[in-house]
Every structure is written in structure tokens, then in C-alpha cells.
Amino acid sequence: MNNKWKIKIGEKVYKSEQLETVRRLIQKIKNEKKFSDNIQVMRPGQREWKDAREIEEFEDMFLMDNLTLEDEDASEEEKKEPRDGSQDGKCSKCGSVNPPDSAYCDFCKLPFTKKRESAQPDPDVNDSSFSEEEDENNDFSITDVLKFSFNKIKERPLFFAAVMLFAAVFSYMLDFLFFVSIILGPFFTIGFLNIFIITSRGGRASFSDFLSKIHLIINMIGLYFISGGVTFMFLAVVFIIFRNYVGGARTVEDLIRFHTTGIIIISLVVGYFYMRFFFAQIALVDREYGPIEALTYSWSITHRSELKLLIIMILMPLLLTGVLALLVYLFSSIVSPGAGNYIWVFGMMYVVCFSTTSYTFLYVKLEGG
């Protein structure tokens, strides 16, 4: 997992796991008076760039720059160095107040940062932990995604088993609630994705997170209809074109050739657009976007990552399902046929869980988090 600080200086982006390394580089730039008003920093696991002056860990470095005559009347308490969220319980992301020394924010579920150590800036930054980042959009590896998903499920196996069991029961119920599923389907999708998004950002999700973003249900329904409408229009156009070609077929061989070619072309085109728009639902829940914004954002962050997306989103689930099928066959042959059925049911729950965790973590990495 690449959980690093990122600092943007001009057009270049650097990253480091060490907070002190970032502080030393900022201090070096300040001493040289270069780009002092354009130092952008991104916290580990987050997706938005902020001016270094606005980040708690670096506020003290710009304190003298921001002093005015009005500051002389400030109280001693206001002049103290701001405390980290893990000390006073105030979340630096959402601003909500939690019990002192809380490990996680009760509202946004993200972990508090560790208490920072006093910095002793060094104008010479030669730390080997600092590296220049050339391509933020591909700053992840398939191994990172797989390790993260495995570790997260291993940390809370019973919780994720309960989530997947609830998902299975809920989906089974929707099969008998045809019209109601138009509302309940998006409702479940929002809550289900929110749990895995919180997990992928390093937070500790709970069942209450199923309801924390229920206000996005209209957006999700809109996304469903837009996606379905576009898919229907595409298939209708392909059908018309395909029918014209088939109409010109003179032999059975021509018909088979046209049919096979059509299936291959449709599969490739649909698969490509599926990968590019796959993260629309996740972006809608995470960023609270509208349907069009979510689709556009998914298209933008998946640029030049198609091969990794293909492996993680399609080949990995197929491989996991194949391994599970092999285990079921072995247990059915050696132990008993009934044992294989139980292994298949519970195994598929964790396959879906592992895949969903991988997808949401991949989304976080594609954002540059």
C-alpha cells in the first residue's frame, strides 16, 4: 500500500512516507524563497490538494508570515500550536467533535492522524524516502490492491461476513419486490459501497453507514436510468447495423461469420466502456456527485489504466471463482457432497467481498490518494 504524503511544487509532484521529510523540503523552499505561495500538499489517503498553509501539520511553519497587528490582541490560547485531532477529538476533515484520543471520527469514520513530532528543519533534503512522482494516475500496483484487500478482510472477517450475508438476503428479497426494487436497489447500493469506501480510506465502517448517505438515492436512481438508457441505445444501433449485414448473407457460413464478428465487437466495445465508467457509482457515493458528474469523473480517472483495470476487475474475480470451484470439488470428493455446497456459499461471499474491497481501494488509488 502506497500511503504517502504528496507535495506539489510548480509542475512537479514528490511523495514521501515521512512527515518530517515533507517539512524539511517546505522549510528549504521557504528559506530559498521559491514557490512559497504555491506549495500544494496532499495528506496520505486523501484526494484533494491543499495549500501547505492550510494544513495543520505545517501551520506553525507559516505562523510568522501571517502575523498582523491584530494578532497582538489574540489570547495565549489562540497563539498555541494547534493540536492534532487525535488529542482533542476534533476531526480535521469534517470538523465534528469526538471523545478525546479517539482513534476514528464517529461521523466520517476516517482515522485521526498521529501526533506530530517537533520539527527541526534541515535546508538540505537528501532523504532517500523522497521520490519524484511522474504519473499520479498510475501510482499503484496490482500487488498493493490485492494485499490491502486481503489484510482488511483478515482484520474483520466476521463483520464482512455479516455484511455479505445481509447483502445476499437483501438481494434475494428484491427478486420478489419488482417495483419496490427501483427504490430499494439504489438504496442498498449506496450503503453497501459506502462501507467499502470507508474501509478503503483506512476508516472503520459499521452497519450504521448503510444509512449515512441515503440522501443520494435520487442521484443513484438517475445514474441507473442514464446508464440503462445509453446501453439500450447502443445495443439498438448495433442490432440495426448487424441486421443489415445479416440480410446480405448468402450462405450459412456468412451468417455464422457475421454473428461471431458481431459478438466479438460488441463484447470489446461494451467491456471497454464498462471499465471506464465502472467507478461512477463509487464516485457518486464518495464525492456526492450527480449522475453526469460521476460518469465524467470515472472516465477521467481511468485514463491510461485499462490494463490494470482489466486484471483487477475481470480476471481477478474469475481466478478467485476458479480456485473456489476447485476447493469445492476437492471437498465434495474427499469429505462429502454437502460440504462442497457450504464451502461454495461462504466462499462466494468472501470472493465478492474481496473483489468489492479491491474495487473501492483501486478507486482511491486512481484518484491519487
Beta strand residue intervals within the chain, DSSP E? 5-9, 12-16, 39-42, 50-51, 131-133
Q: Which string of DSSP letters, residue by residue, matches 49-116? A: -EEGGGSGGGGGGGTGGG--GGGGGS-HHHHSPPPPHHHH-B-TTT--B--TT-SB-TTT-PBPPPPP
Cell 511523495 belongs to residue: 15
pLDDT of the residue at 84: 46
Q: What residue type is assigned to position 18 of the chain?
A: Q
Where are the chain's structural domains?
A: 1-77, 83-121, 144-367
**Which value, to the nearest 10 degrees, does the dihedral of the CA atoms of residues 360, 45, 210, 154 take?**
70
**Alpha-carbon torsion (299, 305, 306, 310), positive or negative:** negative
Q: How would you list the strands of the sheet with 50-51, edge to edge?
A: 50-51, 39-42, 5-9, 12-16, 131-133
Taking CA atoms, 136 is separated from 12, 47, 81, 133, in Å, by 11, 11, 32, 6
The helix/strand/coil state of 108 is coil
Rounded Cα–Cα distance for residues 353 and 349 (Å)? 6
Q: How far is C-alpha 19 from the geometric centre of its chain's CA atoms?
A: 23
345: left (phi over 0), alpha (psi -120 to 50) or beta: alpha
Residues 6+ apart with CB under 8 A from 288: 213, 216, 219
pLDDT of the residue at 307: 81
Q: What is the pLDDT along the chain (369 residues), one digit of tens a residue?
A: 446 788 776 667 777 777 777 787 777 777 766 554 567 888 887 767 777 777 877 777 776 655 543 444 444 444 444 444 445 566 766 666 666 666 666 656 666 654 433 333 344 445 455 554 444 444 567 788 888 898 999 999 999 989 988 888 887 777 676 666 777 888 889 999 999 999 988 888 888 888 889 899 999 999 989 988 888 888 788 777 776 766 665 666 766 777 777 778 888 888 888 888 989 999 999 989 999 999 999 998 888 788 888 888 778 888 888 887 887 777 777 777 676 777 777 888 888 888 899 889 889 888 765
pLDDT of the residue at 95: 62
Fold of 83-121: SH3 type barrels. (2.30.30)
Contact 145, 132 (CB under 8 A): no
Helix and strand element counts for the chain (H, E): 13, 5
Contact 153, 354 (CB under 8 A): yes
pLDDT of the residue at 298: 92
pLDDT of the residue at 194: 93
